[in-house]
């Protein structure tokens, strides 16, 4: 993979132990794990919007949290601009926090309702001790409000979250993230709670900021249609594994994995002339506690063969930028 990466992840794994009651622990010694993320590798390049797409339970949100070290991985390595940050202590991570940020899904819950827009946005500046004095805080906040198009900034500085619309709130959340000049931002379903008519403006805001502020974004979503327009490359996850990685064109038009195919054919299209093709896989995503042997998708796969039950397929390079983990595709 390319050397010009901001974040690189190698064989990352996160198994959450299942908490058991006193009695169950007495009855059985065997510990159970939710294998949320089970050995994935990818990189996010400079100025790239990289998408992790998948259904709920695929491990995409856990991956986002692992990468910015909010939770600790079970194994594997995480590099940030070439530096291994996998086992940094809490204290050593703190200076990295301003360079790696996160935007949350829910603009209603992620903003403290008792603080003004100004204080919410300035909080990070104050924690990181970046600015000297209130005047500089004010200048910084005003500038970022302009960047996220909450203009004129003076109108918004002293408002509280409840005085803003959903779209404006998410802009504040974006402003709070970008005021620290991060180099890498994880955006976890940042538009799924917003009304349809204002989703695009938040996505475009991200794209503008990527250009303007030189950041890379890990965009996490279940919505392949927006991912296709938003992202340079897409990684499709299923049960803690990456099934396919490619440019968004490769994933949409030249996908090779049966799961990617199923996922894309299930996306409804806002055009009555191209009604959804009826190829749809059966069943629902199995439990990540005891994932299927071999290829994890074999239980639902329409083309699964003998080898798929037994051997787990590796992610193999098919074309420039295009990798797929499927015995049948190669």
Partner 1 sequence: MSLLNVENLKTYYFTKRGPVKAVDDVSFQVEEGQAMGLAGESGCGKTTVALSIIKVLPSRGKIVGGKVSLKNLDITTIPEKQMKNVRWKRISLVFQGAMNALDPLYSLGDQIVEAILTHESKINKKEAMNRAEKLLQLVGIERNRLKSYPHELSGGMRQRGLIAMALACNPELLIADEPGTALDVIVQAQVLNIMEDLRRKLNLAVILITHDLSIIADTCDKVAIMYAGKVVEHASVSDLFEEPLHPYTQGLIQAFPNIKSRRTRMRSIPGSPPDLLDPPMGCRFHPRCPYAKSLCMEKEPSAQMAKREHSVACHLYHDT
Q: Which of 94, 126, 212, 276 binds partner 1 (CB under 8 A)?
A: 276
Asked whether position 278 contacts partner 1 by CB under 8 A, the answer is yes
Of the ranges 73-81, 136-144, 278-286, 306-314, which one interacts with partner 1 (CB under 8 A)? 278-286
Least Cβ distance, residue 20 to partner 1 (angstroms):
19
Asked whether position 162 contacts partner 1 by CB under 8 A, the answer is no
Q: Which of 185, 203, 295, 308 binds partner 1 (CB under 8 A)?
A: 203
Asked whether position 263 contacts partner 1 by CB under 8 A, the answer is yes
Q: Which of 45, 228, 257, 327 binds partner 1 (CB under 8 A)?
A: 228
Least Cβ distance, residue 223 to partner 1 (angstroms):
8
Of the ranges 111-119, 123-131, 210-218, 263-271, which one interacts with partner 1 (CB under 8 A)? 263-271
Q: How far apart are CA 277 and CA 89, in angstroms?
A: 50
Asked whether position 151 contacts partner 1 by CB under 8 A, the answer is no
Write the CA distances from 126 to 62, 170, 182, integer angstroms: 28, 21, 15
Asked whether position 269 contacts partner 1 by CB under 8 A, the answer is yes
Structure tokens given for 104: 């949350």
Q: Which parts of 26-85 interact with partner 1 (CB under 8 A)?
A: 55-56
Least Cβ distance, residue 107 to partner 1 (angstroms):
12
Q: How far apart are CA 285 and CA 295, in angstroms?
A: 13
Asked whether position 197 contacts partner 1 by CB under 8 A, the answer is yes
Q: How far apart are CA 240 and CA 58, in angstroms?
A: 5
Q: Which of 123, 249, 312, 321 binds partner 1 (CB under 8 A)?
A: 249
**How many residues can be counted in the chain?**
330
Least Cβ distance, residue 304 to partner 1 (angstroms):
16
Contact set with partner 1 (CB under 8 A) = 55-56, 165-168, 195-201, 203-204, 207, 222-226, 228-229, 248-249, 252, 262-276, 278, 280-282, 284-285
């Amino acid at each position: 993979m390319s050397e010009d990466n901001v974040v690189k992840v190698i064989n990352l794994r996160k198994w959450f132990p299942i908490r058991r009651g006193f009695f169950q622990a007495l009855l059985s010694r065997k510990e159970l794990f939710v294998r949320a993320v089970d050995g994935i590798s990818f990189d996010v390049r400079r100025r790239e919007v990289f998408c992790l797409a998948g259904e709920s339970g695929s491990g995409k949100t856990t991956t986002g949290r692992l990468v910015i070290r909010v939770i600790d991985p079970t194994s594997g390595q995480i590099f940030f601009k070439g530096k291994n940050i996998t086992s940094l202590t809490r204290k050593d991570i703190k200076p990295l926090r301003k360079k790696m940020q996160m935007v949350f899904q829910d603009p209603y819950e992620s903003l403290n309702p008792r603080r003004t827009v100004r204080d919410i946005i300035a909080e990070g500046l104050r924690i990181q001790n970046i600015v000297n004095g209130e005047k500089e805080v004010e200048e910084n906040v005003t500038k970022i409000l302009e960047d996220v198009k909450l203009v004129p900034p003076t109108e918004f500085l002293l408002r509280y979250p409840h005085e803003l619309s959903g779209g404006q709130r998410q802009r504040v959340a974006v402003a709070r993230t970008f005021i620290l000049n991060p180099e890498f931002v994880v955006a976890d379903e940042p538009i799924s709670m917003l009304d349809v008519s204002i989703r695009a403006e938040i996505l475009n805001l991200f794209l503008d900021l990527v250009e303007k502020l030189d950041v890379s974004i890990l965009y996490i979503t279940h919505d392949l249609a927006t991912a296709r327009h938003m992202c340079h490359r897409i990684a499709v996850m299923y049960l803690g594994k990456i099934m396919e990685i490619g440019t968004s064109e490769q994933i949409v038009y030249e996908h090779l994995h049966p799961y990617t195919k199923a996922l894309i054919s299930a996306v409804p299209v806002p055009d009555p002339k191209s009604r959804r093709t009826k190829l749809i896989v059966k069943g629902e995503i199995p439990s990540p506690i005891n994932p299927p042997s071999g290829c994890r998708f074999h239980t639902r796969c329409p083309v699964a063969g003998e080898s798929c039950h037994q051997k787990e397929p590796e992610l193999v390079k098919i074309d420039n930028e295009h990798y797929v983990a499927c015995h049948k595709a190669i």
